[in-house]
Amino acid sequence: DAGVTQSPTHLIKTRGQQVTLRCSPKSGHDTVSWYQQALGQGPQFIFQYYEEEERQRGNFPDRFSGHQFPNYSSELNVNALLLGDSALYLCASSFRGLNTEAFFGQGTRLTVV
């Protein structure tokens, strides 16, 4: 079992550009959540996808959007990048419902210059 895989590992973008991050969930998981972790901070919830729809959203602007595909993999898109978007972006997968644990990928380190 490959676990949760994210790509790319590292990324450097210029302010104003757009970026797409990708996540493949752990085998059998149907729910994908995205988190942003700024340097020295705990992860902050961005949004969660289940059945190809956004089910919950954290306090992030509309510049952050996502998608889930029929195979449960997911993308996170960020438009009009700001310097403050520089962070580690973590993908977590789980089974839908309560009493479930989330498995995290290694993350994508995004640097905006």
Residues that bind other proteins (CB under 8 A): 4, 31, 33, 35, 40-45, 48, 50, 55-56, 58, 90, 92, 94, 96-107, 109
Q: Give whichever of 15 and 57 is closer to other proteins, judged by the CB atom.
A: 57
Residue 84 φ/ψ, nearest 5 degrees: -70, -10
Q: Give whichever of 15 and 55 is closer to other proteins, judged by the CB atom.
A: 55
- We find the least distance from the C-beta atom of residue 31 to other proteins, in angstroms, to be 7
- We find the least distance from the C-beta atom of residue 39 to other proteins, in angstroms, to be 11
Q: Give whichever of 3 and 16 is closer to other proteins, judged by the CB atom.
A: 3
